[in-house]
Chain A
Amino acid sequence: MTLALPSARDEAWRWSDLGALPALADAQPSGQPRAIDDLWIDTPGPRLLFVDGAYDTTRSNPGPVRIGSANPDASKHALGRLAGTTGWSLTLGRDAASETIQIVHVATGGANHLAAEIVLDEDATASIVESFAGEGWTNRAASIRLARSARLMVARRFVQDAGFQSHADTAEIGQGASLATTSLVAGAADSRLDGHLSISGIEAYAEAGGALLGRARQRHDAQFVVRHAAANGQSRQIWRAVADEQAIASAAARVEVARHAQKTDGEQSLRGLLLTRTAAINLKPELEIFADDVKCGHGATVGELDRQALFYLASRGIAPLPARAMLTRAFVADAVARIGSEAVREAFADTADDWLRGTIA
């Protein structure tokens, strides 16, 4: 199979390294997945397991989720369009509410692709948690459509031990609807996350954020766009990037405000933490505003751990490594603290802690 991949000359792809993908696309998965018990979060609700992109009927309890075809609406995305139209879908009718849906994706090498489609009707609410583990290239595309006053929370953690994880969202957010996505990248694989969230109804809310943690020679790249196409919308993009050793973590967040999207309230906070001077962080906040009555705040900063704080912790007996972990955890906390479910939030915080302790490798 010949892969047509974007090159680094393409502005939207210049921080990503897709060099490993052709070989992974040609490789075969081993079919021997790692243990998955530790990936389930202790919270009630449906559980779905995909191994190398294939649904595991025996170890799943899908609840309202359907397996089969899905239209991820990713034809314009270089990786998303490879996800195909096979996957899972969640359709909730008016006023329906689902318990937290957990989805675990385990890969065993090679490449696996899967599509997802989430459609919530008026006033429906859902919460989805996905965990990606194992090795190989895991590629996903998801389409989200929220009708009036629907609410969706999506939390994803990418903790593969090797390989490449790519995920592309497209979302259409209706009047008064709310979408919050949080991503935690804390494994040893490279990653590329994309999102194009479009606020198409008035008074809607969109949030995209997360934490990118990289060490060794990892490359993480998150590229998110929130488009305000209707008035009185609110959006929040909060990204925290941490890079150690020779890692490169990049985040680009863009807000687009259409001419008629007055009273838009958009906020971007991009912050990077360099744990060594050999690592690199790229942050790119972008604003494109055509309406004249809007409030759009943005901030982008990159720095190192505060030496005074490190000495303060040391003077109280905390050794250098735990002290660095403590301050790094505090730095990342903002991004993960926004997850609504306490169990999920704590599980994600633990995952970040594991990474900080260096136990995920």
Chain B
Amino acid sequence: MLNIQNLHAETAGKAILKGITLAINPGEIHAIMGPNGAGKSTLAYTLGGRPGYAVTEGLATFDGADLLAMEPHERAAAGLFLGFQYPVEIPGVSNLQFLREALNAQRKQRGEEPLSGAEFIKIARAEATSLGLDHEMLKRPVNVGFSGGEKKRNEMVQMGIIAPKLAILDETDSGLDIDALKAVGHGINTIMRKPDKAVLLITHYQRLLDYVKPDFVHVLADGRIVRSGGPELAHELEREGYVGIDGVAA
């Protein structure tokens, strides 16, 4: 589904990703872990197409199409969802309006009919209920005045409504208390743990992986994947830290 080969990227003139190669197949959940400054968020932003992140070498394909040639909104319509570490506040735009516009924009790009207001609200309420987000939050401006946990639940509600093929979740677990962490973990499992979907979980800590069991764990350090393994690798990192892994500076 996602095929990354020798990806190099820079931001603000500084090389951050220094040759990443990774293949994610349908039905798989991959976790990328690594110390601060390893390039985890840069990887997410580069794949999402954020302005200011330039690919200098390598390629990435998504379902066989050149991902890097697509505009960010085209990547979304193709089925890629980027979960933000710091979801953006948008005053004056209600969550519902934003999500309906987003979903219908994607449907339009895929040649599907737009959803009516009533159909959409039904879906949005169901997703909010499933993730424990107060329905009132759907009417409020996007992320404005939301707590850290509410913002992340809101990201999951968005993911549930948009129903992507591939979710790249950038430190979705940061700043969450245990209840929010469970809710987010449950959301990822319910929405994305399917044979035709895949997840790339980017995380600093192992604790989200208690709720979302990855099939593969990779360690990112200084812009490269220095080690890959199964779920047991996450436990090893939790026990022993990143220091000591090859390629990770002390």
Contact of A326 among B50, B73, B75, B101 (CB under 8 A): B101
Are A315 and B51 touching (Cβ within 8 A)?
Answer: no
* Contact present for A326 and B93 (CB under 8 Å): yes
B162 interface residue per 8 A CB criterion: yes
User: Does B88 lie within 8 Å of A309, measured CB to CB?
Assistant: yes
Chain A residue nearest to B161 (CB atoms) is: A316
A220 to chain B, nearest CB (A): 21
Contacting residues of chain A (286-337) with chain B, CB-CB under 8 angstroms: 306-309, 311-320, 322-323, 326-327, 329-331, 333-334
Return chain B residues, CB-CB under 8 Å to A326: 93, 97-98, 101
Interface size class of A (residues with CB under 8 A): 20 to 34
Residues of B within 8 A of A312 (CB): 84, 87-88, 90
Interface residues of A in 326-357 (CB under 8 A from B): 326-327, 329-331, 333-334
B88 to A316, Cβ gap below 8 A? Answer: no
Cβ of B171 to closest chain A Cβ, rounded Å: 15
Task: Assess whether A317 is in contact with B106, with CB atoms less than 8 Å apart.
Answer: yes
Which residues of chain A are within 8 angstroms of B49 by Cβ–Cβ distance? 314-315
Contact between A315 and B72, CB atoms less than 8 A apart: yes
The answer to whether residues A319 and B73 also contact, given A312-B84, A312-B87, A326-B98 and a CB cut-off of 8 A, is yes
Contacting residue for B162 out of A317, A319, A327, CB 8 A: A317
Is the pair B51, A316 in contact by a Cβ cutoff of 8 Å? no
Task: Check B77 for interface membership: any CB of A closer than 8 A.
Answer: yes
B92 within 8 A of A: yes
Interface residues on B, range: 20 to 34
Q: Is A316 a contact of B93 with CB atoms below 8 Å? A: no
Report yes or no: A322 in contact with B101, Cβ–Cβ below 8 A: yes
Asked if residues B72 and A333 are in contact (CB atoms below 8 Å), the reply is: no
Q: With an 8 A cutoff between CB atoms, is B4 at the interface?
A: no
Q: How far is the CA of A313 from the CA of B158 in the complex (A)?
A: 12
- Please report the C-alpha to C-alpha distance between residue A306 and residue B90 in the assembled complex, in whole angstroms: 9
Q: A307 touches which one: B51, B81, B98, B103 (CB < 8 A)?
A: B51
Which chain B residues border A322 with CB–CB below 8 Å?
A: 101, 105
Name the A residues within 8 Å of B73 (CB-CB).
Answer: 313-320, 323
Asked if B48 CB lies within 8 Å of chain A CBs, one says yes
> What residues on A are CB-neighbors of B72 within 8 Å?
311, 314-315
Residues of A within 8 A of B71 (CB): 314, 319-320
Residue of B nearest to A323 (CB): B73
Knowing A307-B51, A330-B90, A333-B92, the reply to whether A315 touches B105 (Cβ < 8 A) is no
Which of B73, B101, B109: most chain A CB closer than 10 A?
B73
Number of A-B contacts (CB under 8 A): 80
CA distance A331 to B141 in the complex (A): 12
Q: What separation, in Å, do the CA atoms of A306 and B105 have in the docked complex?
A: 20
Given A307-B51, A318-B73, A320-B73, A313-B92 contact (CB < 8 Å): no
On whether A318 and B93 interact (CB within 8 A), knowing A311-B50, A311-B51, the answer reads: no
Chain B residues closer than 8 Å to A313, beta-carbon distance? 73, 90, 98, 102
Q: Main secondary structure on chain A at its contact with chain B?
A: helix
Please, how many angstroms separate the alpha-carbon atoms of A323 and B71 in the complex?
13
Q: Considering the complex, give the chain B residue whose CB is closest to the CB of A308.
A: B88
Which chain A residue lies CB-closest to B101? A318
Q: Give Cα A323 to B87, complex, Å.
A: 16
Chain A residues within 8 Å of B234, by CB:
none
Instruction: Give the docked Cα–Cα distance between A334 and B93 (Å).
Output: 11
Contact of A330 among B48, B91, B109 (CB under 8 A): B91
Contact B87 A315 (CB under 8 A): no
Residues of chain A within 8 A of B97, CB atoms compared: 326
Q: With the chains together, A326 CA to B72 CA distance in Å?
A: 17
Asked if A334 and B48 sit within 8 Å, CB to CB, the answer is no
Other-chain residue from A314, A316, A320 in contact with B98 (beta carbon distance below 8 A): A316
B residues 93-120 in Cβ contact with A at 8 Å: 93, 97-99, 101-103, 105-106, 109
CB of B82 closer than 8 Å to a CB of A: yes
- Confirm or deny: B124 has a beta carbon within 8 angstroms of a beta carbon on chain A: no
Q: Are B102 and A318 in contact (CB under 8 A)?
A: yes
**With A307-B51, A311-B51 as contacts: A316 and B76 at CB distance below 8 Å:** yes
Q: With A and B bound together, what is the CA distance between A306 and B73 in angstroms?
A: 17
Q: Give the complex CA separation of A319 and B49 in angstroms.
A: 13
Q: State whether A317 touches B92 (Cβ < 8 A).
A: no
Asked if B93 contacts A327 (CB within 8 A), the reply is: yes
Q: Which of B203-229 contact A (CB under 8 A)?
A: none
- In the bound complex, residues from chain A placing their C-beta under 8 Å from that of B88 are 306, 308-309, 311-312
Rank and list the top 8 A-B pairs by shortest CB-CB distance, nearest first. A330-B92, A317-B76, A316-B102, A314-B72, A317-B106, A312-B88, A314-B73, A315-B82
Residues on A lying within 8 angstroms of B by beta carbon are 306-309, 311-320, 322-323, 326-327, 329-331, 333-334
A315-B76, A316-B98 are known; give 9 further A-B pairs, CB within 8 A.
A309-B88, A314-B76, A315-B81, A316-B105, A317-B73, A318-B101, A322-B101, A329-B93, A334-B92
29 contacts between A and B (CB under 8 A): A306-B90, A311-B50, A312-B84, A312-B87, A314-B49, A314-B71, A314-B73, A314-B76, A315-B49, A315-B50, A315-B72, A316-B73, A316-B99, A316-B105, A316-B162, A317-B76, A318-B102, A319-B71, A319-B105, A320-B71, A322-B101, A322-B105, A327-B92, A327-B93, A329-B92, A330-B91, A330-B141, A331-B92, A334-B92
